[in-house]
Structure 1
């Protein structure tokens, strides 16, 4: 797949309103690229474990006779092209998620303003209603010493917002994974409900002694 092909539908999406379906399509293409990259690395592994940088000539400067030079060069070229496409698609996913998030924020603000205006017209104080943000996932476990633990996340916290992901655009845990991949070393704003109270936390995905970049497990909530 070429870089032009990788950017095609996303450019079309940017020309109008980005939808959840657009994001799902980008994620599907990202996974396809990752599978193709793995397949080409497997070709290199099959050539006596040749990687991306090993020389293809022997100590005397002659082409190596123990590997298929055509296959190795082709696989290396494919991997470079596919990795460039993958990087472009990942950027498009992030931009699309941010657009969805911004649009949802604007809609929530409009809905709240309308609710307050209606309440004022009726002589009532606005209270929590259908426009109150709802949680889409719950924290199942938090590892000691992890980035999640340092940020103050606790077991039982209900997640309302995780970076650009919220109830309106959350589809699966893949949404969280995509945001985390693009935010390593950078703080994410996380909003949780704890004992009925909202808490704003700053979580920095980073490498630590345990697995992954977060060190916690979340469970999607049925809506």
Structure 2
């Protein structure tokens, strides 16, 4: 069956992407440690001499590795997005079709799958539609437990579909100061969380950005 196989491939890609993100975070943390040069900071002093307290070859190697990991992350993300498009379009087309039953009559695809092939009906269940690619410290999202690179499967009443960005904003605004349930994937594991959209000293009600996949 194409859909379950594609789902398995997509989940594998998500695991690989999570591993890349962990490796990137480790490099960024090392470069950004106190006294470190940062991701793009200069490696020479005002007079053009190499900074004596920095292992320049090691920093250059880390930065090159980070650039490679980012390119790999972009390639995998693009592949995941294409797979999700196929999975979602497959589910939609199947829900619109009807299939023959053993007696020769027709029944809705949903009914047929629920009785005969739950794997097909569940082909895209648990697949995320957005990822947190920006998260501000001390924001409502961070305080309530969300983390960078969390993948969003469900946000309140919002699941995969059309006008996702608009629906996410609407869901957050309509639930200001109220708990919103989430289903996320974090490093390959599914988690249930709640977040309360609320005013704080920063922008928005959550302080994070959802990038639609």
Q: How many residues align?
A: 143
Alignment gaps of 5+ in structure 1? 1-13, 120-125, 134-165, 185-189, 194-199, 210-214
Q: Give RMSD over aligned pairs.
A: 4.1
* Paired position in structure 2 for 1:84: 71
Distance 1:22 1:52, change over 3 A: same
Cα 1:37/1:182, change in 2 over 3 Å: closer
Cα distance change, pair 216–90 in 1 and its aligned pair in 2 (3 A)? farther
Structure 2: unaligned runs, 5 residues or longer? 115-120, 135-153, 174-178, 184-189, 191-213
Rounded Cα–Cα distance in structure 1 between residues aligned with 2:85 and 2:133: 13
Task: Kindly name which structure, 1 or 2, has the bigger radius of gyration based on alpha carbons.
Answer: 1
TM-score norm. by structure 2 comes to 0.53
Answer yes or no: is the 8 Å Cα contact 1:23–1:93 preserved in 2.
yes
> 2-side partners of 1:131 and 1:180: how far apart?
30
Deviation at 1:58, TM superposition (A): 0.5
Distance 2:124 2:82 in 1: 13
Residues 47 and 68, structure 1, Cα contact 8 Å, conserved in 2: no
TM-score by length of 1: 0.51
Equivalent-residue separation in structure 2 for 1:30 and 1:58 (angstroms): 37
Q: Is the 8 A contact 1:37 1:82 kept in 2?
A: yes
Out of 11, 35, 52, the position equivalent to 2:22 is 35
Deviation at 1:18, TM superposition (A): 5.2
